Amino acid sequence: ILDSMRGRLELGASHLNMGGIRAYEQKFVNAQRIIIVACGTSWHAGLVAEYLIEDLARIPVEVEYASEFRYRNPIITERDIVIAISQSGETADTLAAIELAKSKGATIFGVCNVVGSSIARATDAGAYTHAGPEIGVASTKAFTAQVTVLTLLAMIMGQKRGTLTDTKLRELMVELDTIPAKVTKALELDAQIREIAEEFKDATNFLYLGRGYNFPVALEGALKLKEISYIHAEGYPAAEMKHGPIALIDENMPMVVIATRDSSYEKVVSNIQEVKARKGRIIAVVSEGDKVIPAMAEFVIEVPHTSEVLMPLVSVVPLQLLSYHIAVLRGCNVDQPRNLAKSVTV
Ligand code: F1P
């Protein structure tokens, strides 16, 4: 199993510096800490990786905005592994964060989409995502590909460190193979999501809530809406709502709640109750067959069920579709949003 995963990761290796994980396997196994640096959507993929690596491999992870990390005075040692994530491989802030970490002796592992890009060349090792060119400026399939590579990486680390049993590893491998079909099913929700978009196309604010693995997905849903439809949107961990954002809820506030069946499901149900009591308009993303939340939410989007570790790969899809349809209905150019560059090189 490990060999097949290695094979899958090393498919992403090239003749450049992106040499796959094998040469650095021991470094990963013995890592004291992993620092993830990235921007935008890639940073959200990094947050998912924090959950994955801490859960499966039990290595402490810090996720940093490269744009902030490069300008402060972070503590970095040669025992650290820095994972740099970038779709374009040209993001100036991520490149600068890599250079800083390198100057302190850290090992740099890249997760990039563009072969031979500046970031790929600056890393010691890495894996290409091979998601194909992102036609639009806003990252979508790159997120899925990044999370997939990072999942495999966490699984390899977990197996090598003995924190992930062979049985659990095998189960995850089998489940990973079901993900493409589940993503296809989620994409088939297109017409239903367009109807929801019709309802909310004139909204001026949106809140996105999620817990656990679905928290980074909430952030990513909000970012996609901002990027392509120019609607103000914020993502929060669902439990943070009571620490501030709850004040924003009224009958005009659409709330997208990612509430798939996982270890925090019951808590998310009680968050939904709190929103409902304040007359917020709830759009809930739930696991197929859920009977509880459909009775509470105004709109329900059912996605195929999968375990929480892999759920971001499925639950992000309806949020991307929602942003897309709202943007199109508002007459926005989804491929070339205003003010946004494909590669932020300054
Ligand atoms: C990072 C990023 C994208 C965003 C936009 C601007 O790019 O913030 O996530 O959608 O394209 O750049 P990258 O480092 O992943 O190429």
Residue numbers of the domain that contains 302:
182-329
As a whole number of angstroms, the distance between CA 26 and CA 48 comes to 23
Least confident of 19-23, 62-66, 111-115, 229-233: 19-23
- Pseudo-torsion of CA 247, 251, 256, 262, nearest 10°? 80
Residue 346 forms part of a structural domain = no
pLDDT score for 272: 93
Express each pLDDT in 159-188 by its tens digit.
989 999 999 999 999 999 999 999 999 999
Residue 345 forms part of a structural domain = no
Mean pLDDT (whole number) for 81-106: 96
Express each pLDDT in 269-310 by its tens digit.
999 999 999 999 999 999 999 999 999 999 999 999 999 999
List the one residue out of 107, 108, 151 whose CA is nearest residue 129: 151
Burial (CB count <10 Å: 0-12, 13-18, 19+), residue 3: exposed
pLDDT score for 118: 95
Residue 340 forms part of a structural domain = no
List the one residue out of 329, 337, 301 whose CA is nearest residue 203: 329
Express each pLDDT in 10-51 by its tens digit.
434 333 334 567 777 888 888 889 999 999 999 999 999 999
Same domain, yes or no: 227 and 165: no
Tokens 């205003």 correspond to 338
Same domain, yes or no: 223 and 128: no
Same domain, yes or no: 112 and 215: no
* Mean per-residue pLDDT of the chain: 90
Residue 49 forms part of a structural domain = yes
Same domain, yes or no: 164 and 193: no
Q: Which DSSP symbol is given to 17?
A: S
Helix (H) or strand (E) holding 48: helix 40-56
pLDDT score for 13: 39
Same domain, yes or no: 55 and 169: yes
As a whole number of angstroms, the distance between CA 239 and CA 123 comes to 37
Same domain, yes or no: 22 and 164: yes
Same domain, yes or no: 59 and 164: yes
Q: Is the CB of 110 under 6 A from ligand 1?
A: no
Cα 159 to ligand 1 centre (Å): 31
Mean pLDDT (whole number) for 327-345: 86
Q: Is the CB of 48 under 6 A from ligand 1?
A: no
Residue 337 forms part of a structural domain = no
pLDDT: is 29 or 227 the higher one?
227
Q: 1 with 166: CB under 8 angstroms?
A: yes
Residue 229, token pair as written in the block: 């439809």
Same domain, yes or no: 259 and 146: no
pLDDT score for 228: 94
pLDDT score for 2: 40
pLDDT score for 8: 44
Choosing from 177, 194, 223, the residue where a domain stops is 177
State yes or no: is 185 an active-site residue: no
234 φ, ψ (degrees, to nearest 5): -130, 140
Same domain, yes or no: 202 and 321: yes
Total domains in the chain come to 2
Cα 91 to ligand 1 centre (Å): 7
- 135 pLDDT tier (thresholds 50, 70, 90): confident
pLDDT score for 15: 31
Choosing from 177, 203, 218, the residue where a domain stops is 177
Residue 341 forms part of a structural domain = no
Cα 141 to ligand 1 centre (Å): 12
- CA atoms within 13 Å, Cβ hemisphere of 307: 13
Same domain, yes or no: 217 and 264: yes
Kindly provide the b/e burial profile for residues 73-102, where b requires at least 16 CB atoms within 10 angstroms of the residue's own CB. ebebeeebbbbbbbbbbbbbbbbbbbebbb
pLDDT score for 20: 62
Which atom of ligand 1 sits closest to the CA of residue 38?
14
Residue 339 forms part of a structural domain = no
Would you say the pTM of this structure is higher than 0.80? yes
Q: Is the CB of 146 under 6 A from ligand 1?
A: no
CATH number at residue 200: 3.40.50.10490
Q: Is the CB of 39 under 6 A from ligand 1?
A: yes
Q: Are strands 107-112 and 80-86 parallel, antiparallel or unpaired?
A: parallel
Helix axis angle, 141-161 to 311-329, nearest 10°: 170
Q: Is the CB of 65 under 6 A from ligand 1?
A: no
Does residue 5 carry a pLDDT above 50?
no
Same domain, yes or no: 242 and 288: yes
List the one residue out of 115, 45, 103 whose CA is nearest residue 74: 103
Same domain, yes or no: 134 and 108: yes
Cα 318–323–326 angle (5° rounding)? 120
Residue 336 forms part of a structural domain = no
Residue 218, token pair as written in the block: 């909430």
Mean pLDDT (whole number) for 53-62: 97
